[in-house]
Chains A and B, each alone.
Chain A
Amino acid sequence: MIQQKRWILALFALPTLLFYTYFFISPVLNTFYISFFKWDGIGEKVFLFLGNYMELLKDPIFYSALAHTLYWVALVILVQIPVGFLLAYFIYQKVKAYKFLRTVYFIPVITSSVAVSLAFSFIYEAQFGILNSFLKLIGLDQFTTAWLTDPNTAMTAVSLPFVWNYIGLMMVILFSGLQSVPDELLEAGKMDGVNSWQKIAYIILPSIRNVLVICFVLGISYAFKQFDYVLLLTNGGPVHQTEVTGTYMYKQGFDESRYGYGNAIAITMMFIVIVFTAIVNKVLQSKE
């Protein structure tokens, strides 16, 4: 009887399993398969085995794009998650109109990346842009620059919309984590006379470690997947100085018609993200 029920349960899982296999597993396997070929998307595939991967190892533009992507990862860890935490902690204090603020902080997350990019392109525009006009207005002309072209500012300028866009998401995740911190722990801390900093460092952060892992994993995978802001604001230029792995992969596939090489970049990125995620899990779990 129990055996029969198991079969029925398995049958219920089958549609989801088929859906997942068709739409996720099979494209990944196909990407992996094509990465071993030289293929322009139309003609015959030429088997290269590891040829695309060997070329990737020697490709300076890929390394530069990877370095830029890692910069985005650093911004996630050093800016996006900490700011998200501060906002979450702020509304966790149940300040006046905290529900309204929670909505306001979350609005960027549901705003289309095209709209956000357009808004930031108006801000950064070198001749008529809001940022340069403001700097001129307050007498800081010497700081005006072509934000998206200047090698000193381009990478940060193009990554800021992404950081801003996802702060709200981090805030919501961390806020839900904060709500699960047991009141008894906070009360005990209060009775022991901990200050605010000690409360955060020794009670709150250890209590929301699992939520932090989610934020890190999401943030890292989002940073690696990023593509739209770069494409819309700079298209990776000038001279690849804002190229990230996502745009480089896209360009190799669609602009250069090198689908095999583009797929090799995709597989390499997937591998790097898995390694990063494993490290984050290992580091944060080992402290438990």
Chain B
Amino acid sequence: MLKKNKMLVFLASIIVALLFSGCQGGTADEASGEAENNEDAVQLRVLHSFTGAQPQAPVIEPAFKEFDNNHKDIDLKIETAAGNTILEQLKTEMAADDAPDVFTHWGMRRTENYIKNGVIPDISGLIEEDNLKEQYREGAFGPVTYKGGIYGLPFQGYSYYFMINKKLFEEHNVKVPTTYEELKDAVVKFKEAGYIPFAANNHSARYMLLTWFAQKKNYEDLVAHSTAEKPFGDALLEAAQKADELAELGAFPEGYMNMATAQSLELFHAEQAPMFYQHSWTIGSIDPELLKNYQVIPFPLGDSESVPTTLAGTGHFIYMSKDAYEDPEKREAAWKLMNKIAGKEVGRQFVEKIANQTPLKVEYDVDKVNPVLNEVLKNIDRSENVLPSYEEELFASAVEGEYWPLTDSLLLQKIEPKEYVEQMNAIIEENPNVQFEK
């Protein structure tokens, strides 16, 4: 009986210990700084998404840790929500009126509601005071500029890049496409040879559509369409027809609609597909042993009126909450932290260590940079037209929920390209981008 009781007590203590460890793990990483023991230290609660298998984690996580270690007067409580899960986490915290003091997020397309409701403060005064604008590339603040105010500091750039497996092109004697017609030929030839022409998911197909559209536009045109000042017309119709035609030709893998981006990259790695058009965050995930077979090429021109164009800009930003901004001590600490994450050193590491683009004007060692990123950057420099992507920067946040399924409907041939253009105009009419209003 006594033995049984001891066993029960033992089991109960194990359960209690597990419960406590379960409650502690995963939520807050009480970053190891000496400030923990300093009662006067300013406490900052930080939320970011660059953890676990996220390609940016090897730079962002150590940067936070280093900041915490170097600032005895600031105590960071770091919380993480990997990848897109930060969307729900931040929404819940904002709705509960418990915003983190500092957090990372996308631009206006996902923070518009917070900006409109005043929970993210305008930091243009702080930026001017420190004369920070000069250290960033032109246009870097575009996605966080809203009705004349600036709401975040940029720290990650993006671009869409077209990569081919040159070995497969040579083996099958297929011409590397420079125009849409040549791309169609390549699709047909690879399809006949038993390949999936594009290692793509629905994001890639959307990026293609946006790029063909942008080849006939300039920045002012893009803004005019996104603000409903000018309706979409022939350029979007032609781009939609091209995407629709490629889908009909079987250019994309079976099940590409639900395919994760990393999965589509695996098709490219496995040499089941010779072409790949994706967001630049994937560069760091490319198998280095296969790099010798790969080549980055300019996106094929839609027609004779199209201009070589790369869609590129700034994708991620660091923000502080209004509550932090209104507390002078917290504001100072948060501003220091934001400057660290959106600073030149982190920017350099983004390029050299994790093959990601930076919106900062930084010098880096070209030899240390992933060869694909080097080619992507050269390709951007060569492009006559470098424009922001609609879905990264210019569509109002309410557009995304409707524009993605609408484009999927086009690719699944559920609607005609003409209907696509009409419905896009209706969506924009209902949710125009108002960030440029004063």
Contacts and interface: CB of A to CB of B under 8 A. Distances in A.
Contact of A42 (B94, B405, B408): B94
A146 interface: yes
A159 interface: no
Interface stretch (A163-171, A195-203, A235-243, A268-276): A235-243
B91 A238 contact: no
A41 B272 CA distance: 45
B257 A238 contact: yes
Contacts of B254: 126-127, 145-146, 149
B255 A127 contact: yes
Interface stretch (A69-77, A81-89, A251-259): A251-259
Contact of B91 (A127, A235, A239, A254): A254
Nearest to A148: B258
A66 B255 CA distance: 24
B403 interface: no
B113 interface: yes
B267 interface: yes
Interface string B334-370: 0000000000000000000000000000000000000
B27 to A, nearest CB: 18
Given A42-B114, A43-B116, A126 B255 contact: yes
Interface string A103-144: 000000000000000000000011100000000000000000
B412 A238 contact: yes
A42 B119 contact: yes
B100 interface: no
Nearest to B119: A42
A234 interface: yes
A235 B258 CA distance: 8
Contacts, number: 72
Interface residues of B, number: 30
A237 B117 CA distance: 31
A254 B253 contact: no
Contacts of B223: none
Contact of A149 (B87, B95, B258, B401): B258
Contact of B408 (A239, A257, A259): A239
A40 B272 CA distance: 45
A268 to B, nearest CB: 20
Interface in B392-418: 398, 401, 405, 408-409, 412, 414
A42 B196 CA distance: 46
Contact of B414 (A125, A147, A239, A251): A239
Contact of A125 (B117, B255, B398, B409): B255
B226 interface: no
B129 interface: no
Contacts of A149: 254-258
B88 A254 contact: yes
B414 A148 contact: no
Given A127-B267, A256-B401, A40 B117 contact: yes
A127 B196 CA distance: 10
Contacts of A257: 91, 113
B94 A41 contact: yes
Chain B binding surface SS class: helix
Interface size class for chain A?
A: 20 to 34
B56 interface: no
Interface string B91-118: 1101100000000000000000110110
B202 interface: yes
A184 B91 CA distance: 61
A125 B262 CA distance: 13
Given A127-B272, A256-B398, A42 B95 contact: yes
A70 to B, nearest CB: 22
Contacts of B202: 238
A254 B91 CA distance: 7
Contacts of B405: 237-240
Contacts of B114: 42
A259 B95 contact: yes
B255 A148 contact: yes
B255 A41 contact: no
Nearest to B400: A255
Contacts of B117: 40, 42-43
Given A240-B405, A256-B401, A126 B91 contact: no
Contacts of A126: 253-255, 259
Interface in A41-55: 41-43
B253 A238 contact: no
Contacts of A240: 405
Interface string B257-272: 1110001000100001
Nearest to A254: B88
Interface in A203-246: 233-235, 237-240
Contacts of B263: 125
A127 B256 CA distance: 10
A121 B87 CA distance: 24
Interface in B199-250: 202
B415 to A, nearest CB: 9
Given A42-B95, A234-B258, 9 more contacts: A41-B91, A127-B196, A127-B267, A146-B256, A147-B255, A149-B258, A237-B258, A239-B414, A255-B87
22 contacts: A40-B113, A41-B95, A42-B95, A43-B113, A43-B116, A43-B117, A127-B253, A127-B255, A145-B254, A149-B255, A233-B258, A234-B258, A235-B258, A237-B408, A238-B202, A238-B257, A238-B412, A239-B405, A239-B412, A254-B91, A257-B113, A259-B95
Interface of A: 40-43, 125-127, 145-149, 233-235, 237-240, 251, 254-257, 259
- Report the 5 A-B pairs with minimum CB-CB distance, sorted nearest first: A146-B255, A126-B255, A238-B257, A41-B95, A126-B254
